[in-house]
Structure 1
Amino acid sequence: MFEAQAQAKKVKKPGSKNDVRQSNNSTIRPISNTYSQPKVIEPSKGWKLVDFKELWRYKDLLYFLTLRGIKARYAQSILGVAWAIIQPLFTTLVFTVVFGNLAKVDSNGMPYILFSYLALWPWNYFSGTLTESANSLIANSGMITKVYFPRMVLPLASIFSKLLDFIIAFLVVVGFLIYFQVMPGWGLVFLPLLIVQLLLTSLGIGMILSAMAVQYRDVKHALTFLVQLLMYAAPVVYSTTAVPEVYRPFYILNPMVGVIEGFRAAFLDRPLPWEWIWPGSIVAGLLFIFGMFYFKRMERVFADVA
């Protein structure tokens, strides 16, 4: 009797952590909750700064998407990366015939084909990045709606993937300089600054257009027309000396004006036109900062409308 009472005291109440139930000679023990609570990703509110540490953690994804963009561009192509040379070269030949020979556009005493190509080289990169980055979010809508990652990786990857074309097109510049026996001067020292200005302009406008294209699909259709208009707003086929004095205070605010004229001066051993470069560099920096904030602001609606 006393043994039965002692055993009864040892039996725990049902629902305790050590509760053991027997059924059909099998022991069933409660499973402890070993899973942590899921991380809730809340949409950003307001104009918040971009988390650069988070972007750095996803650097492998940025590298993969950049490499994928390069491979997709030349997949099943016979000429491959040679298109990075053929396209700007043939465009330059057309401009030389139409504007250099027929329209007699002033090229500041330099061969028009060299004058035109030194402008088309950075311009093709700029226009190509606008198209790629504006469609980057829509083209990767499946990733946006299923997996979390910094959305800014997509326009960044599209812009970085175009750098290969930019580097390859430089080979044509070297060929022209050798053919026309032109020796670049000390202005090449400032070429990295011009490239940074080109990247900031491309990234800033690219992030703005990519964020707008998710909500407004008209951006995709208007982009081709917009790029053509922007080309004639930059000194690609003409020199800045042809711009009337009354319009120059507004004209120099175009960041690509300083980039193009800076490229020409750096490779043709001429004084760098800082009066054209520094106003555009300020605008390029402002576009980059505004583009980051606007992209972050609109990021919370990407998964809903993509």
Structure 2
Amino acid sequence: MQGVQPNIQATASTVIIKPRKSLAISDITSIWQFRDLLRTLAARDIQIRYKQTFLGAFWALLQPLATTGVATVVFGKILGLASGSLSNYFLAVFPAMIIWTLFSTIITTTSNALVANAEMLRKIYFPRLIIPLSAAGAPLLDFMIAAIVLIAVMAITGVTLPLAALFIPLLILITLIAAVGVGIMLAALTVVYRDFRLIVPFMLQLTFFLTPVLYDLPISDRWQPLISINPMYGIITNFKNIMAGQSLSTTPLLYAIIIACICLTVGLSVFSRVERKFADIV
């Protein structure tokens, strides 16, 4: 008896990968689909950061602690900028320093991420935005370690925060948005123009002195829109206000939110336009 053979038609789907001029919704959803790769790359960067180091996670504290300590002696004591005791000056500068370190380190690591992972870009396909995003993981971990130490110091010294401290997560979020936006834009530009590997540290150094980290920067209403182009001005100004028990400066905060959103939008736009050239010129 001859069996009946079913009529089976094989179907095949073809995925065509081609460059786009702008970022699409599918690009954002694909990042979620590749979230395991994002976590893996972030964990790899953290391991590389602390592998075979003597001090380990203490390096996350060394830079802000050392800079704050020197600033306390030079600006607080020698130049007499400390309005109260040196310990109060230290507690005012240290939180500003760790959030500035978060901002500057994310920009530095993300701007070099594509060049550092050139082989991955040439060999396999995945959403290219994952590489600079994963590079922000190690600086964020460093910030969390420094923040825990800060909370412990405040608890020991008996410092209490005002109700405005509820806005601290918002300030951190704005910092991340601004840093990632600037970082992914510079990451794309660094692939095309390697000069940015030298320009970025220089730009961050200049911006540091235009940001009220080590000292207060009183700005008149006339010049505030100009200085507020730096999103960290509004963030650190409000951070220091909270630590001093003062109310929020709403105008610099609004400027910081707007500039951070602009940074992210421009960064995504530049990244998507340059992305098509990555594999050819990296």
Could you state the TM-score of these two structures normalised by the residue count of structure 1?
0.83
Partner of residue 165, structure 1: 142
Tell me what 2:23 maps to: 48
| Corresponding letter in the other structure for 1:294 | V
1:269 counterpart SS class: coil
Structure 2 counterpart of 1:97: 73
In the alignment, is residue 208 of structure 1 matched against residue 185 of structure 2? yes
Distance 2:32 2:101 in 1: 28
| 1:129 alignment partner in structure 2 | 106
Q: How does 1:29-48 map to 2 (within 5 A)?
A: 36=12, 39-45=15-21, 47-48=22-23
Is this contact kept in 1: 2:75–2:82, CA < 8 A?
Answer: no
Q: Using the TM superposition, name which of 108-117 and 274-283 deviates more.
A: 108-117
CA pair 182-214 structure 1, distance change in 2 beyond 3 A: same
Tell me the distance in 2 between the aligned counterparts of 1:85 and 1:222: 26
Question: Pairwise mapping of residues 181-196 of structure 1 onto structure 2 (< 5 A)?
Answer: 181-196=158-173
Residues 46 and 137 in structure 2, CA contact (< 8 A), matched pair in contact too: no
Per-residue CA shift, 1:57-105, capped at 9, x if unaligned?
0000000001011111000011111111122111110111111111222
From 139, 150, 153, the equivalent of 2:130 is 153
Separation in 2 of the partners of 1:178 and 1:100?
23
Q: Following the alignment from structure 1 to structure 2, what is the Cα–Cα distance between the partners of residues 178 and 148? A: 48
The residue type paired with residue 197 of structure 1 is I
2:275 counterpart of 1:305: no
CA distance in 2, matches of 1:260, 1:288: 19
Q: Which amino acid aligns with 1:287?
A: C
Larger radius of gyration between Structure 1 and Structure 2: 1
CA distance in 1, matches of 2:15, 2:24: 21
Distance of 2:83 and 2:46 partners within structure 1? 34
Q: TM-score under structure 2 normalisation?
A: 0.90
Whether 1:70 and 2:46 are equivalent positions in the alignment is: yes
Secondary structure class of the residue paired with 1:212: helix
Task: Give me the whole-angstrom Cα distance separating, in 2, the residues matched to 1:185 and 1:225.
Answer: 36
Shift of 1:192: 1.5
Change over 3 Å in CA distance of 1:304–1:264 after alignment to 2: same
Q: Which SS does the other structure have where 1:112 is aligned?
A: helix
1:253 is aligned, of 229, 237, 243, to: 229
Q: Which residue of 2 aligns with 1:31?
A: none
Q: Distance in 1 between matches of 2:84 and 2:24?
A: 44
Report the CA distance shift for 1:107/1:39 in structure 2 as closer, same or farther (over 3 A). Answer: farther
Q: 1:164 to 1:155 in 2, by over 3 A?
A: same
Q: Could you tell me whether the CA contact under 8 Å between 1:204 and 1:289 is conserved in 2?
A: yes
Q: Render the CA deviation track for 1:125-168: whole Å, top value 9, x for unaligned.
A: 11111110011000000000010000000110011232110100
**How many residues in Structure 1 have an aligned counterpart in Structure 2?**
272
RMSD: 2.1
1:287 to 251, 259, 263: 263
Write the distance in 2 (CA, Å) between the matches of 1:103 and 1:298.
47
For residue 208 of structure 2, what is the aligned residue in structure 1?
A: 231
Counterpart code for 2:162: G
Asked if 1:139 corresponds to 2:113, the answer is: no
The amino acid of 2:63's aligned partner reads: Q
- Please, which of 248, 251, 263 is the counterpart of residue 272 of structure 1? 248
Q: 1:139 to 1:225 in 2, by over 3 A?
A: same
Task: Judge conservation of contact 1:69–1:158 (CA < 8 Å) in 2.
Answer: yes
Relative to structure 1, the CA distance from residue 300 to residue 107 in structure 2 (aligned partners, 3 Å threshold; closer, same or farther) is farther
